[in-house]
Amino acid sequence: MEILNFIVPFIILLTVVVFVHEYGHYYFAKRYGVGVTDFSIGFGKELFGFNDKSGTRWKFCAIPLGGYVKFFGDRNVFSQAEQKELLKQYSENDQDKLFVTKPLYQRSLIVLAGPLANFLLAILIFMFIYMSIGKDFTPAQINEVQEDSPAYSAGIKSGDVIISINNKDVSSILEVSAFINTSPTEDINIKVQRNGENIDFVVIPKLIKSEDSLGNKINKKIIGIKISPLNNELQKEKLGPAKATYYAIKETWFVTQASLDFVISMFKGKGDTTQLGGPIKIAKITGQVAQHGVIAFLSIMAYISISLGFINLFPIPMLDGGHLMFYAFEKILGRPLSQKTQEGFFRIGLFLLVFLMLFTTVNDLKDLGLF
Tally Cβ neighbours within 10 Å of residue 218: 15
CB distance 276 to 363 below 8 Å: yes
Rounded to 5°, the CA angle 79-83-84 comes to 170
Residue 85 to residue 305: CA distance in whole angstroms:
38
Coil, helix or strand at residue 94: helix
Q: Measured on CA atoms in the order 148, 152, 158, 161, is the torsion positive or negative?
A: negative
Residue 98 to residue 344: CA distance in whole angstroms:
24
Residue 65 to residue 14: CA distance in whole angstroms:
7
Of the residues 22, 92, 175, 186, only one is catalytic, namely 22
Residue 22 known to be catalytic: yes
Rounded to 5°, the CA angle 325-328-334 comes to 140
Pairing, β 57-71 against β 217-222: unpaired
**Phi then psi for 285, rounded to 5 degrees?**
-65, -40
Catalytic residues: 22
